[in-house]
Structure 1
Amino acid sequence: MLHPPDYNDLFTDLLEALETVCDAVCAAVIVKDENTPSHRIGDPGAAQLLMNLDSVQATLADGIPRSEIPPPDASLNGAAFIAVEALSTPHQDTQSTVIVFAGKHAEDIERAVPLVHALTTETANELMFLRQTPLLSAAFAEVECGVTIADPNLFDTPIIYANAAYERMTGYPRAEILGRNCRFLQGEHRDQPGLQIMRNALARGTDCTATVTNVRRNGELFENQVKLRTVRADDGSISYIIGIQVDVTKEQSALNALAQQKRRFRSLIQTQAGYIWLMDAEGELIEAPEQWLEIAGLSSSGSLDMATIHSAIAPEAVEAFRDGWSEALRNKTSFEVVYQLPAQSPSPRWFMDRISPVLDEDHQLVEWIGTSQEITQLKRAEKDVENAAYKDRLTGLLSLEGFARRLDVQLRQKTLHPASPVLVIDIKALREINNTQGHDVGDEVLQEVAQRLTAEIGENGLIARTGGGEFTVLATHEHQRTRRQLRESMAAVFDVPFEIRGFAFHVEASFGYTRIRTTADDARKLMNDATLAMHISQHNPTLTWTQYTKTLEEQTRKNVDITMKLRHALAADQLTLYYQPQVDLASGRIVSTEALLRWQHPEIGFIPPDQFIPLAEQSQLIGPIGDWVIRQACRDIRRWHDAGIPVTPVSINLSLIQFQLGSVPDTVQKALSDYNIAPEWLTLEITESVFEQHCQALQLDLKALTAMGVRLSLDDFGTGYSSLGHLKDYFFDEIKIDKSFIRQLDDNPYRQAIVKAVIIIAQAIGADVVAEGLESTSQIAIVRQLGCSKGQGYYYSRPVPEPRWRQLLIEQMPLGANHQ
């Protein structure tokens, strides 16, 4: 019988986790309208006092986190600060809940408060899951296999749910599981084939099953069969990763024992004499087995010699016998030969002959003894294994291993024209087809693609299904003479609509290819090169076809290296913010500033933003980096204000990827609250590609930011994505004229007309206008004449480090062309 989930265990785990890592006077879980804390650690009197704090009651009412200095009270002696975080979210049908944390050390607030926030965020996520799906969570609690749920939208993809079976299997209590990435179970076993399978699947966003070696809490190893399943949101992004885990240690041990028994049995077969041969010391035949002669179709009557015996087997086997005899006679060693019998039979039997020397007591050669062992259960089994390894079960095409093997053979035989292409094809939106139409329809799409490719490429080529929706093709040069013909043949495969189970739809694909001449002796290298080119097509919406080049590989390696270094840049304190002033064009007075991210690597030196920002977006590092920028800007504003410096609003650039990865309004609200920043001091700049990604979720996020009091700025306006019809769906406080329109304004009526049009549009929607890239007095005069009153550019100042910007705020001097 299923039972409802127990939230008490969840709160207990949370407090135990806090007690493990934080030095607290008291911490408590408090539920609205209850007289005592639901759970607590530390002093009970302090916990009761915390219930009555105004900040606690306010957070219970509105869910906004708060922090404060403790009031004077004996129960709170030793507490340096109090942090309040909400455990529940609006619109839930249960009472509001908060956690209150009284920390002992003021210097810990920078570390402790974010930690409490992270733990409560994860706990709230789990609480939401348990409340919204009580039947499912109860079922998870009852099943015998381990079940975990990880959130890829949080930093390092932490586990936010683990059932009791997972605790039993690993030996870890939930307090030590929640909030951690599941890699902690790997211990030192980080290089396993199963782990690579899971990493590849997660990188592609596909499901997978793999067996990995894990370490229990007591240090004991166990074999864990993991099934990873992704749960997607309406926009296609991954919301959760469900892990279903089974301890298969006993089964794996049994399989290993069975494999050992098979090896022993095979060895026994190989050593048992089925048919016995005798030869003299020179290798001439003395005695032949009658059963073997009957199978070979030879008569046992009359004289027999080795030439007669050899006539019954294939020429290549005869050659192997002769080579073996030559070596054996010279060194008095054994040799083996495998062959078919009869050689020309459509259903031959397989034999393995082992010829060994017979030596006397003085180690002198006396004769040779041979054993012929039939290995036909064995060869058939090997053939079945080969077919399973080298064929794709769903489509009947070659598998990845089968394709590589067949291509290697042709490369060694040097039968391929150097211009023959190896092509990798990835079907777009296969996941959407599976999700909307069902996996059966998706499988039929793959089968239909396989049939079309086979008909188009012909018998001389090779075709394999090498991934979920990925196909690899070798098209012979005779069949595909030019790049244009190759594209036309692929168009013939994908241009015709697919009609499956009453559904008719087009299937699009990304293509990457290379030529045999680029790597003439390595099938894997050719396949990897083509895959690399295909990935370029995948990640560039303007491309469908990409050809591999050395330059492409070098650039990819450079990008991978920069991405790896970027992963460590935050922790290594290599990132910093520069500030570029925005001024009143009439007076040169500073009215606001734009925060610009800069990266100074200790070995490479300065890395321009246009090199690492696109890589951060592709790798989704833009999420944590963007969060850092928001918090660092708010931290700087707070420091300026506390120092008595006149503060101006700060603009921060946001990537649309940040909106897809997490809740930008929550991040901004948290930063404003943590640093006690007025929302009007913050302006968020969003490029006009917002219109290309127009969706309801993004629109709601922007409305939430506006309701918060944060200013919104539309950056790079007019550079290619704008739809004036979309402007009515969003509210922007500011429009920035892209610097590409500011260049060459002199004697260029077209550019002046564009700038004037932007100003008129801004006036119509009540937005300010900022001209970017101002570098000359003539540009400033023209944009002022056209109606723009605010701008930024090198004429006034380049972006400067924070200490220099602080000095500019203190000086409050008008800026001009001579300012550096």
Structure 2
Amino acid sequence: MNQSQTLMQYYPIGLIVICLIISVFASYIALDLPRLLLASRGKARRYWFMGGSLALGFGLWALHVIGTMAYRREGGAADYYLTALLSSLGVAILVAFACIGLSARREMSAAQMVRNGLLLGLGVCGTHAAGALALDQARIAYSPTLVCVAAVLTILVCVSMQILASRFRSPVSPLSRLVKAACSIAMGTIIAAVQYVGMIALRLSPLASVSTDEFEPNIYFWLAIGVAGWSILVLGIVMLCANFADRRIAQQVALNGSLIEAASDCIVVIDASGRIMEFNPAAERIFGHRREAAVGRFMPELLFTTLLGDSYREAIARYVRDPGDNPFGERTETTGMRADGTMFPLELTVTRIRKADPPILVAFMRDITERRRAEAALRESEERYRKLVHYSPDPVIVHLNGMILFVNSAAAVTLGAKEPEELMGRFLADFIHPDDREIAEIGLNTPPNRLSESGPAELRCYKLSGELIDLEVKSIFVKWNGRGVMQTIARDVTAKKQAAQTIRQMAYYDRLTGLPNRNLFLELVHGHLRQCAEGGAEAAVMFIDLDRFKTINDTLGHHVGDELLKAFSGVLASSMRKGDILSRIAGDEFLVLVPSTTESEASDIARTILSHANTPFMIEGHSLIVTPSIGISMFPKDSEEAEELIKYADAAMYRTKELGKNGYSFYDSNVRTISSREMQLEQGLHKALEQDEFLLHYQPRFDLHSGRMAGVEALVRWHSPEYGMVSPAEFIPLAEESGLIVPIGELILRKACEQNRRWIDAGYPPVRMAVNLSLVQFRQAHLVDRIEQVLRETGLPGELLELEITESVASQNERAVAERLQAVKARGITVSIDDFGTGYSSLSYLRQYPLDVLKIDRSFIRNLPHSSDDTAIVQAIIAMAHSLHLSVCAEGVETKEQLDFLREHGCSEVQGYYLSKPKAAEEIETILGTTIASRIESAS
């Protein structure tokens, strides 16, 4: 035999397989033991730590012993130093103890895992070294390269095992067992391979004085088999115990988890320092913290205020030091703090888990907000019901067989007694109206078992003074001083019945005029029409609406409008015949039923109404003339139904308005067509706005001082593909009523500014663009911002824009109008009053508002210079405007005489058909820069 042989030449395959099995078992225990230690408490934790560490250390030692004891050579076997061999066992067990103790920590960083793996690897290397030194009668030679490779591989394997062990700390599942078994096989195979790499690194040469007759050559082989058997047995027992413990732990974890998850109360598990270990769904719901964010934080700081948190932190520390002293008591009511910082009442119970080492505390918490409210409500209810009878605002009377035994203060007051004692001993029948005593007897004598079935009864009762009142009473059976009596709860409903009468009055009569309203009118009409049908008579329904009533309301105020309606309703009543029915149905709309009449008689009544209405009404110093528009439908000619007759009369009234107002019209088949067109036009306005069917024409204005063209007024036109060119007089009122005037007005403003900007860019002389603003537009809160936005987007300077407002706008809230006009003026925009002289408002706004131009209405220009009244009015307006430093523009100039008169009396600007009709933008471009003289010459 060679003097130096490697040990690998003498290993039988059986021992290699046994070493592999031990490696796999030891790997499984090394991966599983930290999880078992973390899941165990008290003695079980100590048992697992001691037993598992011993088993793991014995397995590590066995790997090396099996290899060295299997060494055989010809002529005998090597001897061993048993002391050194046993010392290597101690080293292996100490290494296992240290490694398991460090791996069982709850929190481990990557650096700690690498440190533990390095310690375990060095320990394993030390175990191999100690085992090799135990060989006797052999000279050991080392291969430095292979020794280093074996040591590095051992350390890497141990570090990997630490990392894997930290990954298997979660609760056991079938998948985790399968993965853990696979990892154990892989790690065991690698450890066995590293073992034999280490053995390859050793070369042994026998000593010369070796004696080979003391032992049989294969005695150490069988000793290795014995060590292997014991190792497998010990490791197997540990694995079986671990499997059994896994099941118990899994059951306990599942039970605890289900109990904690399903608990309706907050359950927070904390360690000895107060750090949260578990936070159940109820705690998440009540406190508003997610479990992931709560676990690991200190409970006193997270769930309580700073002051309470400091106190509870000290209490937890005291409870941990002395389990017999629970500073929280059996149950503590305190104040919790939610994640959003809100406080709420909380019930807190803290208990310590027995046999838990280190100590673990469980805090049971319950939100008692609703309980506090219920307790407060109960206390309040008890107090309220205690005082109910005595202090009840409703009268309470206790009686037996009709005799009064007790009354509260409210009952005494209701029946007119100064003190309750005045009523005691008297009989209820004495206070009840004779006609209601029969009803009262039924209530008083109702058997107790049927009292709940009977509802409240209304009785007329007398007070001690003899005054008659209405009471609503309800009797119940109660115990009073140990005997069954009747308790009657009464309520004075006198005011209620009066209110019901008032409500009926309001439901059937107009509050302002006292006339029947639509509801009563319809009830009366049905009866009268039925009588007319039975007698073969005709009847007329008149629908009356006041012309321009909205203007009066807007200019003079609703209080003036109300007084005017009352005065006009008196005129209508004086025009009716006896038996006619007059009703106000809404606003300025009236309905009249004239039964048993003919068309001729209905016409006479309508003319009487028109004649009486033409008389001026003096309302708060204002002389007001209103004209009615009347529509008439006939029964049974037009319809036999009251609702249809009202609808047809309404349609006829609109026909009257279209024909010039201040008149009357009978319903015929054409009325429906006219009314239908109005509805169609209103619907068409929406489409026109969407499809941009509106276009602008421009009427020039000329400066009488310079003779030059000073500006243009933008006038909207609607060119409808369906209706053709629709007049502004027809669609503007519809737009104002529907609210579409706001988007239409903004569209007109934008188009006018864009057109003026194009003229400037084309090199034409700059002129002012005048745009009309309606009352509805002026009331818009963002009007000034919209105007500024249009100027900014179109690039038109504010100095080249003029806004025309009517007197109805100027008569609104003076402060609001002034502020809005100031904002407009601040942007350089000119402000003018259109149609001046046609309104109802005071002239005081001329000096209060920042105005620039007065536009005299065409009605005053029409008869110049032949009408002395009109010439006086125009001269007065011009003089007044000059005194207020305002320019004057005359509208509707149609003759040279009118032009000369206006120039002679100092009018600033003029516009009208004499100088130019409204034209399209392309036609305006041909006259931009012209003068009055050239326009007169072209007109002639």
Alignment TM-score, normalising by the size of structure 1: 0.40
More helix by share: 2
- Higher-Rg structure is 2
Query: What TM-score comes out, normalization by structure 2 length?
Result: 0.36
Task: Tell me which protein shows more strand as a share of its residues.
Answer: 1
